[in-house]
Chain A
């Protein structure tokens, strides 16, 4: 990385999200390093998912965002401000430069559309690819996320796949236009434990490829400990602690983080928690 390029793919500064009567997120800062996985942890209702949706400008109509979310250009020092950006700017960012993977692939993929169509429609829109070209690329994507029989899979429907394969397909959909940032909202929560590891490993590999930065939103610190480079812990719309993974798991600074770690099953974390007490 040359010094002229911003080391962060996505920079969130003083982000506030509020409805008329409530503050959902009360001013948070977060820098997503290029090629890294940044975990965003916290209990449900802590504002993690809303933070991710704010990046895409997809907050529910009743909520407004203020502050700053800057998306760095892939090359060069320029960046795009996303808070308050025009519809046109956001449409160009969504799916093209920032993509999102949702929690439950059995609801985030359209049950009535073949997988191939869901993999190619945004490719054709954003990249202007022809049908054949897009299908070729879709096949390659399915291979990359290791869905068996990629060619045959294109004409199948989501219900014909297992949960883990569906989430791999959803990840392939997100990767289709070569985004620089991937927002993964609880991508393993709806999956069987046995399948979770495979999906997490896939995310790790994608980030290690160097061009993709992943914001991994989860309430599960076990998932964090497996793949995240940095972890930010949120509570009630505020950041309580942000640190590299090792540091956070070995010497958490905040009481809330400690209690989360203590709640983890698996001996090493439990000890960490108990030692801290």
Chain B
């Protein structure tokens, strides 16, 4: 029988189908690790190509004029070694979790980043969750009402969202909600009369809830509001337009017509059939949007004095703090890779053809 050759054994038989996905996952993880090495090389080379003398930037003019101090500084930070040696030293230290010492804060870069990362994650995650929810809802509505007035309104609005510069929007919102209306709290992550909640995740809202401090949670949430809003407006336009296109394509599929012919309620058709079908392209663009959010945070964090990776990057760059700059570059690169890895693995979860293909 030629027909049965195409048929695979049922899933339940011990581990036979676990293998393909495991292999798939392993391959993706290994590729990502290789890419991390690539990222270290790129950040290292780029950082050292920057014109400008880190010694002068760190020491100030008078100290930089004293050759003894300069020599000592160069020796302390290993800057007197050839670049290749510096790179391998950097890699070796990296393996021990050592990113060097920041020449501006004089703290280990790892510690600085560990402190800054949760702040950035808190606004970035908040913004991506919010923009996915809004983008999927609006994009689906626009697709269903294709060509009608509401579709056109949504398209114009999302295009406007895409076109407005983030920093300008941040400034305007800050001015209106803080200076004029006094609705939003000032800059930073917490008001001065609140103390940081006990550290668990580093996300203040989550930590405050875990500690049962409702006041702190509300204050942290109100501080999140504006930066998250700005970042959401930045990505939601992109997501809405993309979801609309993806849903329109799926609406044309036979399986959607078949689901309608089954008399399923519209709600079920949208959730179980249309959005499930569109989930893979949507996932791809969510990954991309999250990546661009991470870089979008730099200006937003600067405006809202948000002590995250963006502020740290800004500060490190303006002081030519090479270990700091490399640390941030590496971290953002790794986060990009991590997001891509998660997206790849989620493809496997969402699509049985990826998961079960050998």
Residues of chain A having any CB pair with chain B under 8 Å: 56, 58, 90-96, 99-100, 102-104, 107-114, 117, 121-122, 125-126, 148-149, 152-153, 155-157, 159-162, 164-165, 170, 173, 195
Contact = CB atoms under 8 A, between A and B. Distances in A.
Interface centre among A96, A103, A104, A156 (most CB of B within 10 A): A156
A95 B262 contact: yes
A165 B6 CA distance: 10
B263 A93 contact: yes
10 contacts: A91-B265, A94-B260, A113-B273, A113-B276, A114-B352, A148-B4, A149-B10, A155-B10, A155-B11, A155-B12
B262 A122 contact: yes
B328 to A, nearest CB: 38
Contact of A122 (B253, B263, B279): B263
Contacts of B352: 111-112, 114, 157, 159
A56 B258 CA distance: 11
A196 to B, nearest CB: 13
Interface of B: 3-4, 6-8, 10-12, 253-255, 257-265, 268, 272-273, 276-277, 279, 350-353, 356
Contacts of A114: 352
A275 to B, nearest CB: 38
B15 to A, nearest CB: 16
Contact of B262 (A152, A160, A165, A173): A173
A125 B259 CA distance: 12
Nearest to A122: B262
Contacts of B356: 157, 159-160
A92 B272 contact: no
A126 B352 CA distance: 28
A13 B337 CA distance: 62
Given A108-B254, A148-B4, A157-B356, A125 B12 contact: no
A165 to B, nearest CB: 7
Given A110-B277, A157-B353, A159-B353, A94 B257 contact: no
A162 B353 contact: no
B279 to A, nearest CB: 8
Contacts of B4: 148, 162
Contacts of B273: 110, 113
Contacts of B253: 107
Contacts of B277: 110-112
A102 B258 CA distance: 7
A113 to B, nearest CB: 7
Contacts of A125: 263-265, 268
Contacts of B7: 148, 160-162, 165
A157 B10 CA distance: 10
Contacts of B272: 110, 113, 117, 121
Given A161-B7, A164-B3, A121 B268 contact: yes
Contacts of A102: 254, 257-258
B276 A110 contact: yes
A93 B12 CA distance: 37
